[in-house]
Structure 1
Amino acid sequence: MIDMIKKRDGRIIPFNSEKITRAIYLAASEAAKKEGRTADYSVAEALTDDAIAFINKKFAGQVPTVEEVQDAVVRTLIKTGHAKTSEIYILYRAERTRIRDSKNRLMQDIHNITFLDSEDADIKRENANIDGNTPMGIMLQYGSAVSKEFCKKFVIKPEHAMAHERGDIHIHDMDFLNMGTTTCCQIDISKLFDGGFSTGHGFLREPNDVLSYAALAAIAIQANQNDQHGGQSIPKFDYDMAKGVMKSFQKRLKENISKFAEIELELSDGELDEFVDSVIAQYGAIRSIEFSSEEREKLSKCIEGAIAGRLEACTGEAAAISRKMAEFALNRSLKEVDKQTYQAMEAFVHNLNTMHSRAGAQVPFSSINFGTDMTPEGRLVSKNLMLAQEHGLGNGETPIFPILIFKVKDGINLSETDPNYDLFKLACRVSSKRLFPNFSFLDAPFNKPYYQKGKPETEVTYMGCRTRVMGNIFGEEVATGRGNISFSSMNLPRIGLNHGIILGERTEPDMEGFYRELDEKIELTVNQLVERFEIQGSKRVKNFPFLMGQGAWIHSDELGPDDKIRDVIKHGSLTIGFIGLAETLTALIGEHHGESERAQKLGLEIVEHMRKRADEACQKHSLNFALIATPAEGLSGRFLNIDKKQYGVIDGVTDKEYYTNSFHIPVGYKLSAYDKIGKEAPYHEFTNGGHISYVELDGDPSDNLEAFESIVKHMATTGIGYGSINHPVDRCPSCGYTGIIRDVCPECGIIEGQNGIRFERIRRITGYLVGTVDRFNDAKKSEVKDRVKHV
């Protein structure tokens, strides 16, 4: 008779038949409940006896393992006609196995986080914006590891957890799922600043100059990121900061009129204030920092009128003094506000690269959209923001954040006759040196319909990672106050492997089977996103004191602290993502879309199909579903590693350390920059949840700005929505030289490795810059190594 059993950890303990009976009874009870009857415990006892009899016969003189005993129970249930009970028992057994594996995986992850250096542990480099070696970075990773396993075990449905673990789908930011946070937000700074706002640790008054505007904008980004798991964007930065420029100019103008009057008129402090107030009152509202000749004459006359009662001199003398005072005040004020705006933008860039968020482990992930404000104030903001980016940080480092995004629009800044064309040329110059700005294109066919002249909130903007949120089935189709709620991505190459020719199982791809399985995965992803949305929607305003409490999210200012947020977050997007279109096509037909028109046609058909399913999900669930070309940082390696174990190494599919980003042409495939843009441009129309295309240049592109500008203009004409140009940016920490460095610094002559010097190799990965190459995970390091230059 069996009296001992071997546990999975190797321990041998007394055998307890009651555990088998209890498990059979619970499974039978669930099966009986579905049929409207009750289970009989004595039947479970009899089945246990049958199972033990089989075990005694098969394992006579041995100690069976837990798995062998469970196999015997399943055999007994099936053999005795209890098929439905066996199905439930098998599912229960699988779930228990999953939970055990989860615990083991969690302990292994915690071990690696604790004892391994980030150079040796990919888990500590999943997010290149987090230093995995710092105490707060390690603490964040502890919390992330525990939270992920908790969500998979207790929060989400088992089928969603299993699909994630198998690598059919990837639930992004799962560690934040149970907390109900949303991904990102496009903040309306003007609305936030109106009347002031609170960070939760103190109330900040409405700013009154451009320095304060810039400082509070950085604080707002930092505060809002603490309420979300993604990044923050300011969609109309130049328009918002222009108000601060005007306030600064008005203050400077008063001060400079006062300075001149103090010398020329010898007035007391009280008289000076009265005099300046009189001049401004006569002039009326100041509408621009740039005065026309007529406006300058008007200011002179107002000064003359204020002087007239204070000088016994003739009118001619008063007029001369007035003109000198007006010219002095205007010219000096404009010069000073230009300088102050640069200081404000420089401080803004420095703040966002040094201030901490999320327990101090990373800087705020921030994106700034600008370039279309044609007022002198807005132009001053755009110019000085880019000059601050070009100058770099204190030791010449390339700023990681904010991600600058220059909005390109014909009639505003794309043609030589456009008023902001000089800003476009500056954007190209700065990007050629510092990788940013990226470029968004308001005239792309899918962006242009939203544009309303004079309403910057209708200009389509992008997050640095590529997220785009504009369409809205619930009302306002604006950028401000909205963002992505959450997104999950599908393993597209796996579906291609299952139905393509690459495995040698068929000579033609099974496209019917491919689309059938793709639809199943889309439906699974949609249901998982809806499940997560309901968790998010059940949270209350008070759970997000800044995002909702300060009205950063659209319509949240209409709710009270205890109100649930479902009816306001629905204005955001739920996005279905995908990765590895190139590998999918190779698996299906043996070539990717860079290699043939046949593959390109099929690729567009597949992506269009996914977009149609996303649109259908909008109608079915009354939510803003969209298709996103996934920004895959850690995911590209995760899916690949899972599939490599299952399918082995397959040329063109699993033979690298990563899957190709979204719909991109493989990074190692040689073609021209213009051809790459032309191949990828059509996919932007279908990926309404976000997209980006970029090309790789060699050498220093600032040496040929005409070529750089022509590439950006080509993006505009081909229908790209969001694009960027990648190129090497190296920095010598010894002398601060920034440019192209091989093995020897061209400035100071130091050799890499000499005196422990390591040159910084700044590279962009998924469309946004996240630091030096050594901070990338293994898959992304491999991708950077494989990239060819597009000439």
Structure 2
Amino acid sequence: MASLKERMVNLWSSFHEIVHAENIDLLQENANVDGRSPMGLMGKFGSESAKMYAVEYLLSGEAREAMLDNVLYPHDLDFYATGTTTCCQIPLGKLLRGGFNTGHGHMREPQDIKSAMALASIILQANQNQQHGGQAYPMFDYDLAPYVRKTYLKQLQALRSLPLVESFDCEQEAWRLTEREVYQACEAFIHNANSMHSRGGGQVPFISINYGTDSSKEGRILVRQLLLATQAGLGHGETPIFPIQIFKVKNGVNFQPQDPNYDLYLLALETTAQRMFPNFAFMDTSFNMQYDQDTPESEICYMGCRTRVMGNVNGEETAIGRGNLSFTSINLVRLALQSAGEQDFMLRLDRSLEQAVRQLFDRYQYQASKLAGDFRFLYSQGVWRGGENLHPGDKLEYILKQGTLSVGFIGLAEALVALYGRHHGEDEQSQTRGLQIIGRMRARMDRATEESGMNYSLIATPAEGLSGKFVRKDREHFGEIAGITDREYYTNSFHVPVHYKLMAMDKIKIEAPYHALCNAGHITYVEVDGSLIHNTAALDQIVRAMAENQIGYGSINHPVDRCKACGFTGIIDQDCPVCGQPDRNIERIRRITGYLVGDMSKWNSAKRAEESDRVKHGR
């Protein structure tokens, strides 16, 4: 293990690399952060220093040793000392109804949809500085429908006050004007999501919205206009990067031709074909159906990258007002390379799981020791469930117990190759063994929940910078091993390697069983060859295959290219086929660990290598 002096030298070395932009991977660990901007650089200085402080003074000895051994990685170490939590599903309707205070004055309840959506943006920006991860609105359509209604009533009252002819249909015209108002509000919300900066100007808030099941007239108008505004794009037709949009699919509501919101599902497919959003959450999947869905508050919802928060041994089983406290990932490949066979691997895995459980609880205790007054918006305004009942001097243990503590994992595919010679996409026996490994991890999380009374869960890690970090260190120790350490990245979580050729339906069937095991979050991607703008039937086929195979949360990737000069959108191999602009003037939207990025120079080298290796999945 490196000495403190050696780690200090490494810190100063990283500072030098930041100043002189010598290590782009260090600057661009997160593609949503402009690491080269002045505020981005300042943030990176602070981040590297804070990580070192956390490793030296906040991690236990065993956790520090496991981390330095490249086995364990507590995520967001730079925020450890602040005591912040990772993410939260925000109760938008509750905040709007009661009004809220960002610290600079009270915002009263809005009286129309434009004001409501403007305040929704303000809530996201205020809350982003209270947490280190993402945030979401779990029932966007239900929460905003009352303000669509208020807008309609205002329009109706105004029309009735005019000297109109008797034959004029005031109600019909009021709804038409309301739809226009809703579209403009949605357009403004999308523009705000892609322009307002947080965390000292380093990044825009990482936000997600869930919708699709409100069948009221007002809720339907909201979703339709939101999808249309998404299709229209930003000012020059750019694809909106945020919010990550999640369409909740449910039979009887929107998934069959006779369902009241089926037209919205079709519009969602059309929008995905153009903009790669929305993604799809499947409410009828067995492990999502187990929750009472009689009320909107009990519906399943996701965070954009994949996070799922539902089970709760300390309160109501709902995602609203709850989130993940922190998560820690295990390097399965390292364990496999260290092991002398399957039995030794399982013993090492069990030991790493015990270490992760203890480390997460230690971090929870540190978070719980903080005061509500340190997070005046997140807690005092009731963003986090029950926070409005706390006084500024109260500690957070009472409400944080409702959050989740999650263990994640990276590199199942490479670990299977190291242990058995083939990954789960190549061999049915490897698939069986892969499910046994992840099932063992889930069982330990369930047992930890029973033993501790905390909400332990298993997440399919959304590794961005970590997938490259893990493999670089392992290659230094074990050398380059074909099929294991010979690429610039490890495969995320349980995914079939992106470079392995197989049909879309086969990929879905292989990955689906892991969704049930990863109760803290999961996602399956399908890479589609060619433009889908005029082929929504293909999208429908994929979405239905996901639903039939018990996928919890899924997404379809396809090329979205746009010429910055003439605005042509389609598949652009190199230069623009319309105006001849060179490749450097082509915006190429691609998905990275759940969200979209248009400038791939912001990606770290591991993720750029992964993107170039992605094969298309035939249907």
**Fold-level similarity (TM above 0.5):** yes
Is residue 495 of structure 2 the alignment partner of residue 592 of structure 1?
no
Is residue 548 of structure 2 the alignment partner of residue 708 of structure 1?
no
Q: Which residue of 1 aligns with 2:111?
A: 208
Distance 1:195 1:407 in 2: 27
Give yes or no for contact 1:396–1:737 (8 Å, CA) kept in 2. Answer: no
Aligned partner (choices 433, 442, 448) of residue 611 of structure 1: 442
Q: Which residue of 1 aligns with 2:92?
A: 189
Q: Which residue of 2 aligns with 1:745?
A: 576
Distance 1:610 1:656 in 2: 26
Matched letter for residue 280 of structure 2: F
How far has the Cα of 1:252 moved from its partner?
0.6
Distance 1:108 1:202 in 2: 44
How far has the Cα of 1:772 moved from its partner?
2.4
Matched letter for residue 446 of structure 1: F
Q: Which residue of 1 aligns with 2:587?
A: 760
Matched letter for residue 197 of structure 1: F
How far has the Cα of 1:496 moved from its partner?
1.4
Structure 1's 787 and 709: CA in aligned 2 closer, same or farther, altered over 3 A?
Answer: same
Give CA deviations for 1:295-315 in whole Å, capped at 9, x if unaligned.
xxxxxxxxxxxxxxxxxxxxx
Is residue 367 of structure 2 the alignment partner of residue 536 of structure 1?
yes
How far has the Cα of 1:533 moved from its partner?
0.3
Is residue 78 of structure 2 the alignment partner of residue 175 of structure 1?
yes
How far has the Cα of 1:469 moved from its partner?
0.2
How far has the Cα of 1:473 moved from its partner?
0.5
Distance 1:441 1:790 in 2: 21
Distance 1:232 1:670 in 2: 34
Distance 2:579 2:597 in 1: 27
Distance 2:436 2:280 in 1: 27
Is residue 257 of structure 2 the alignment partner of residue 416 of structure 1?
yes
Q: Which residue of 2 aligns with 1:786?
A: 613
Distance 1:219 1:771 in 2: 25
Aligned partner (choices 492, 504, 514) of residue 332 of structure 2: 492
How far has the Cα of 1:132 moved from its partner?
1.1
Distance 1:136 1:750 in 2: 32
Matched letter for residue 341 of structure 1: V
How far has the Cα of 1:331 moved from its partner?
1.4
Give yes or no for contact 1:128–1:771 (8 Å, CA) kept in 2. Answer: no
Give yes or no for contact 1:234–1:369 (8 Å, CA) kept in 2. Answer: yes
How far has the Cα of 1:761 moved from its partner?
1.5
Give CA deviations for 1:497-520 in whole Å, capped at 9, x if unaligned.
2236xxxxxxxxx22211111000
Structure 1 unaligned blocks of 5 or more: 1-93, 265-320, 501-509
Distance 2:228 2:319 in 1: 26
Matched letter for residue 458 of structure 1: S
Larger-gyration structure (1/2) = 1
Scaled by the length of structure 2, the TM-score of the pair is: 0.98
Q: Higher helix fraction: Structure 1 or Structure 2?
A: 1
Distance 2:495 2:151 in 1: 46
Matched letter for residue 47 of structure 2: S
How far has the Cα of 1:738 moved from its partner?
2.3
Is residue 180 of structure 2 the alignment partner of residue 339 of structure 1?
yes
Tell me, what secondary structure is at the counterpart of 1:182?
coil
Q: Which residue of 2 aligns with 1:141?
A: 44
Distance 1:740 1:232 in 2: 32
How far has the Cα of 1:737 moved from its partner?
2.1
Give CA deviations for 1:554-602 in whole Å, capped at 9, x if unaligned.
0111111111111101111100000111001101100000011100000
Q: Which residue of 2 aligns with 1:773?
A: 600
Matches within 5 A, 1:312-711: 321=166, 324=167, 327=169, 329-453=170-294, 455-499=295-339, 510-711=341-542
Tell me, what secondary structure is at the counterpart of 2:194?
helix
Give CA deviations for 1:588-635 in whole Å, capped at 9, x if unaligned.
100000011100000011111000000011112210000000000001
* Range with greater deviation from structure 2 (633-642 or 146-155): 146-155
Distance 2:187 2:569 in 1: 18
Matches within 5 A, 1:98-113: 98-113=3-18
Aligned residues: 618
Matches within 5 A, 1:267-286: none
Matched letter for residue 136 of structure 2: S
Matched letter for residue 328 of structure 2: S
Distance 1:367 1:419 in 2: 24
Distance 2:557 2:31 in 1: 18
How far has the Cα of 1:195 moved from its partner?
2.5
Give yes or no for contact 1:366–1:403 (8 Å, CA) kept in 2. Answer: yes
Distance 1:335 1:372 in 2: 22
Is residue 138 of structure 2 the alignment partner of residue 235 of structure 1?
yes
Tell me, what secondary structure is at the counterpart of 1:152?
helix
Q: Which residue of 2 aligns with 1:124?
A: 27
Distance 2:45 2:61 in 1: 23
Q: Which residue of 1 aligns with 2:61?
A: 158
Distance 2:450 2:186 in 1: 44
Tell me, what secondary structure is at the counterpart of 1:446?
helix
* Range with greater deviation from structure 2 (152-161 or 233-242): 152-161
Give CA deviations for 1:219-245 in whole Å, capped at 9, x if unaligned.
101111110000110000000110110
Distance 2:233 2:292 in 1: 33
Distance 2:188 2:490 in 1: 39
Matched letter for residue 603 of structure 2: F
Distance 1:653 1:429 in 2: 39
Tell me, what secondary structure is at the counterpart of 1:354?
coil
Give yes or no for contact 1:538–1:566 (8 Å, CA) kept in 2. Answer: yes
Give yes or no for contact 2:137–2:209 (8 Å, CA) kept in 1. Answer: yes
Give yes or no for contact 1:578–1:628 (8 Å, CA) kept in 2. Answer: yes
Give yes or no for contact 2:321–2:383 (8 Å, CA) kept in 1. Answer: yes
Distance 2:616 2:261 in 1: 31
Tell me, what secondary structure is at the counterpart of 2:585?
coil
Give CA deviations for 1:266-306 in whole Å, capped at 9, x if unaligned.
xxxxxxxxxxxxxxxxxxxxxxxxxxxxxxxxxxxxxxxxx
Give yes or no for contact 2:526–2:555 (8 Å, CA) kept in 1. Answer: yes
How far has the Cα of 1:751 moved from its partner?
3.2
How far has the Cα of 1:767 moved from its partner?
2.4
Identity within the alignment, %? 51
Distance 1:584 1:751 in 2: 42
Give CA deviations for 1:761-790 in whole Å, capped at 9, x if unaligned.
111021222342211100000000000000
Distance 2:500 2:534 in 1: 25
Give yes or no for contact 1:433–1:739 (8 Å, CA) kept in 2. Answer: no
Aligned partner (choices 245, 252, 262) of residue 148 of structure 2: 245
Give CA deviations for 1:731-776 in whole Å, capped at 9, x if unaligned.
2111122221112213323233xxxx43121110212223422111
Distance 2:290 2:389 in 1: 29
Distance 2:488 2:126 in 1: 37
RMSD: 1.2
Give yes or no for contact 2:442–2:517 (8 Å, CA) kept in 1. Answer: yes
Give yes or no for contact 2:587–2:598 (8 Å, CA) kept in 1. Answer: no
Superposed structure 1 runs of 4+ greater than 3 Å apart: none
Tell me, what secondary structure is at the counterpart of 2:247?
strand
Aligned partner (choices 106, 121, 132) of residue 218 of structure 1: 121
How far has the Cα of 1:196 moved from its partner?
1.0
Matched letter for residue 297 of structure 2: E
Distance 2:460 2:588 in 1: 27
Distance 1:537 1:654 in 2: 39
